[in-house]
Chains A and B, each alone.
Chain A
Amino acid sequence: MNWHSPAEFFAMGGYAFYVWGSFGVTALALLIEPLLLKKRRSEVLKSLKRELSAKERSQ
């Protein structure tokens, strides 16, 4: 085990800003992408449903 306390872990031997800045932004990017994709899918499904119901009304 590398760490003796949580504080030591978060300090990263003085490199906290660089290490957490790297892991943090990577984690953020990997969380945002699936959320954007979920939004994209729900938008296209919404417009498809609208188109379909308009078509069925006109028939």
Chain B
Amino acid sequence: MNPKLITWKYASPPYFYPLAGKMIPWFALLAVLLGIAGLWVSFFVAPTDAQQGEGYRIIFVHVGASWMSMFLYLVMAFWAGIGLSFNTKLSSMMASAVAPTGAMFAFLSLWTGALWGKPMWGTWWVWDARLTSELILLFLYLGFIALQAAIDEPRRADKAGAIIALVGVVNVPIIYFSVKWWNTLHQGASVSLTQAPSMAKTMLLGMLLMALSFWMYSIAMVLTRVRAIMLERERHSDWVANLKEVRS
């Protein structure tokens, strides 16, 4: 078979379904191992913060969850856009599979942020640029999910969802740069690509380990969900009828 065909082969559900099934346990294992290491560093290695005492340890879940909420949105919009332009159904299924996990991380970002804001700023919530744009991100995810759920015909649902997903992309840089563009209560970036991190090395390590764990977790969850979506949508096809988990 020519190499181009081999690459494209995995873009079709009958081939991607078993491949995803083989990858899931590895990503799940990585998520657990990185999570254990991350929690260890978060609580037992990283020192107490000079200003915020032990309260700052919320950073170890808050930053990872916030990064994943933004990153997963870009991944969702990417697959939705590919599905819309090239009419590839697996791409659109990937977009639908990413949305719930992304929404969960957006919620966790807001939740842990509120629990951090209360002791440090004296309030659970303020309508400032960073917090508000993250809330809009959660609503974009929920809008995408609700819109797709409201349309019975899957390919039409894919297209309508893709429009929301693509329009909403503009919100991601707004979240990211909000702390620079506007005066906000939220502190500036802890880690940036251009400057040395403004924190202890072990704090940074804990944050990165937790973020990586969330990343691997997300891959495992998205692959699990896309497998379920493939079965649901392709239920009348031969490859589904011939699966051993359906036959047995």
Contact = CB atoms under 8 A, between A and B. Distances in A.
A41 B108 contact: no
Given A18-B115, A22-B115, A34-B221, A12 B47 contact: no
Interface residues of B, number: 39
Contacts of A12: 54-55, 57
Given A12-B55, A18-B118, A40 B48 contact: no
Contact of A30 (B44, B54, B217): B217
A30 B111 CA distance: 14
B104 interface: yes
A27 to B, nearest CB: 9
Interface class of chain A by DSSP: helix
Contacts of B104: 29, 33
B58 A18 contact: yes
B119 interface: yes
B205 to A, nearest CB: 15
Interface in B170-202: none
Interface in B100-124: 100-101, 104, 107-108, 111-112, 115-116, 118-119
Contact of A41 (B44, B217, B227): B227
Interface in A15-36: 15, 17-19, 21-23, 25-26, 29-30, 33-34
Interface string B122-139: 000000000000000000
B241 A52 contact: yes
A2 B44 contact: yes
A1 B245 CA distance: 49
A15 B51 CA distance: 13
Contacts of A48: 231, 235, 240-241, 246
Contacts of A17: 115
Interface string A36-59: 010011001101110110000000
Contact of B61 (A23, A37, A41, A44): A23
B3 interface: no
Interface of B: 43-44, 46-48, 53-55, 57-58, 61-62, 65, 100-101, 104, 107-108, 111-112, 115-116, 118-119, 217, 220-221, 224-225, 227-228, 231-232, 235, 240-241, 245-247
Given A19-B58, A33-B221, 5 more contacts: A13-B48, A18-B118, A18-B119, A22-B116, A33-B104
7 cross-chain pairs, A with B, having the tightest CB-CB distances, nearest first: A13-B54, A15-B55, A22-B112, A12-B54, A13-B53, A18-B115, A22-B58
8 contacts: A2-B43, A12-B57, A19-B54, A22-B112, A22-B116, A26-B61, A37-B221, A37-B228
